[in-house]
C-alpha cells in the first residue's frame, strides 16, 4: 500500500487538531503545574511556568489537612463519601435500567409505549424542579442528609436515561431468540440472564461510564440532600475553594480539583475505548 501524498489540506487538518488539543489541555496543564509549585513560586512565576521541582506538599495538604470551613481534614472524607455513594448508585441504576429496557422492548404490554413516553420526560426534565418533592420523600423515608438518601436520589434520577439506553439497544436483538427460549420453557429471568445479559456488554459499558461520570461530578443533589457527614467530593471541593484565609493557596486548590476529578479521568483513560465501541455498536444496531 502506497502512502498518501502530502497535501496542504492534511497539514491544515492536523494543525487544527493540534490547536484544539492544546486549547482543551491548557487548563489541565495549568492545574498540574500550579499544584506542584510552592507559595514562593506562585508569587514569582506565571501560570505557564514549570515548577522548580517535584513538590507534592500541596497534594498532601489538599488530601488530608486543608480546611473546608472549620473542618480541616482535607478532601479525604468527602472523597470516601463519593465512593460509598457512586459505586452502589451506578450499579443499581444500571441494573434497574437494564431490567426496564428488557421489559419495554421484549415483554411489551398494553400501554408500555405510553409508559415509556412518560418515562422519557425524566431525561429532559431539569432536576431543579424535583428538589422540593424529593426532599419531602427523603424526609418521609427517614433518609434525609444521608449517603443512602443520595444513592436513592441518583438511582431515581438516572433511571430514565439508563432505561432509554437499554431499551433502544435491546430493540435490535432478534425476537426469534426470545421466542425460541420461551418455546424451550425459559421464563422471564432465565431469558434475561442467559440470553440478554451476555449480549449487553457494549451498552453496559456505556451506561456504567455515563452514570459514574454524572453521579461523581454531581453538585446539585450533593449540596441539596447531604448532611455534615455525607457531603460528596464536589461539595467539599467547593467549600475548600471558598474558604477564606490570609493567603490564598492556589496550589492546594488546584491539587484538590485534580483529586476530585481524577476518578472520572481514569475511567475515560482506561475504559474510553469501550465507551466509543458501545456507542458505535448501538448506533449500528439502532
pLDDT at residue 72 is higher than 60? yes
Distance between first and last Cα of the chain: 34
pTM above 0.85, yes or no: yes
Spatial distance between the Cα atoms of 155 and 88, rounded to a whole number of angstroms:
9
**What's the pLDDT at 284?**
46
**What's the pLDDT at 3?**
56
CATH level 2 (architecture), domain 76-240+257-285? Orthogonal Bundle (1.10)
Phi and psi angles of residue 185, each rounded to the nearest 5 degrees, phi first: 100, 5
215 vs 45 pLDDT, higher one: 215
Section 132-161 average pLDDT: 92
Rounded to the nearest integer, the mean pLDDT of the chain is 86
Spatial distance between the Cα atoms of 232 and 219, rounded to a whole number of angstroms:
8
pLDDT at residue 279 is higher than 80? no
Q: What are the C-alpha distances in Å from 53 to residues 38, 49, 133, 166, 242? A: 9, 12, 52, 49, 28
Q: Are 99 and 200 in contact (CB under 8 A)?
A: no
Spatial distance between the Cα atoms of 143 and 164, rounded to a whole number of angstroms:
28
Spatial distance between the Cα atoms of 65 and 240, rounded to a whole number of angstroms:
11
The residue extents of the domains of the chain are 8-55, 76-240+257-285
Locate all alpha helices (DSSP H) within the chain, ordered by sequence: 8-35, 39-44, 57-64, 76-106, 112-124, 131-141, 147-170, 175-183, 188-191, 201-216, 220-225, 233-241, 250-285
**What's the pLDDT at 285?**
47
Per residue in 203-254, pLDDT (tens digit) is 998 899 999 999 999 999 999 998 888 999 999 999 888 876 667 788 899 9
Per residue in 176-196, pLDDT (tens digit) is 888 888 888 888 899 899 889
Residue 149 CB burial class (10 angstroms; 0-12, 13-18, ≥19): buried
pLDDT at residue 75 is higher than 70? yes
Is residue 286 very low, low, confident or very high in pLDDT (cuts 50, 70, 90)?
very low
Spatial distance between the Cα atoms of 61 and 205, rounded to a whole number of angstroms:
35
pLDDT at residue 101 is higher than 60? yes
pLDDT at residue 65 is higher than 70? yes
Spatial distance between the Cα atoms of 197 and 188, rounded to a whole number of angstroms:
12
Amino acid at each position: 500500500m502506497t502512502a498518501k501524498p502530502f497535501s496542504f489540506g492534511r497539514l491544515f487538518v492536523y494543525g487544527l487538531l493540534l490547536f484544539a488539543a492544546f486549547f482543551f489541555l491548557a487548563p489541565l496543564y495549568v492545574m498540574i503545574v500550579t499544584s506542584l509549585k510552592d507559595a514562593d513560586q506562585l508569587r514569582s512565576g506565571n501560570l505557564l511556568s514549570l515548577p522548580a521541582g517535584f513538590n507534592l506538599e500541596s497534594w498532601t495538604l489538599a488530601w488530608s489537612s486543608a480546611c473546608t470551613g472549620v473542618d480541616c481534614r482535607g478532601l479525604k472524607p468527602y472523597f470516601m463519601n463519593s465512593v460509598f455513594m457512586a459505586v452502589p448508585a451506578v450499579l443499581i441504576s444500571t441494573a434497574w435500567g437494564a431490567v426496564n429496557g428488557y421489559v419495554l422492548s421484549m415483554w411489551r404490554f398494553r400501554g408500555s409505549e405510553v409508559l415509556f413516553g412518560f418515562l422519557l420526560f425524566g431525561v429532559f426534565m431539569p432536576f431543579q424542579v424535583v428538589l422540593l418533592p424529593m426532599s419531602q420523600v427523603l424526609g418521609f423515608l427517614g433518609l434525609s442528609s444521608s449517603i443512602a438518601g443520595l444513592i436513592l436520589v441518583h438511582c431515581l434520577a438516572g433511571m430514565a436515561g439508563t432505561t432509554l439506553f437499554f431499551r433502544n439497544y435491546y430493540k435490535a436483538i432478534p425476537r426469534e431468540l426470545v421466542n425460541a427460549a420461551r418455546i424451550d420453557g425459559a421464563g422471564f429471568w432465565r431469558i434475561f440472564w442467559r440470553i440478554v445479559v451476555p449480549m449487553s456488554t457494549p451498552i453496559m459499558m456505556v451506561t456504567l461510564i455515563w452514570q459514574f461520570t454524572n453521579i461523581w461530578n454531581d453538585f446539585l443533589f450533593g449540596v441539596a440532600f447531604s448532611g455534615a457527614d455525607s457531603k460528596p467530593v464536589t461539595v467539599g471541593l467547593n467549600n475548600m475553594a471558598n474558604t477564606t484565609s490570609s493567603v490564598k493557596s492556589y496550589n492546594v486548590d488546584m491539587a484538590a480539583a485534580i483529586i476530585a476529578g481524577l476518578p472520572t479521568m481514569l475511567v475515560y483513560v482506561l475504559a474510553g475505548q469501550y465507551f466509543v465501541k458501545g456507542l458505535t455498536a448501538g448506533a449500528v444496531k439502532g
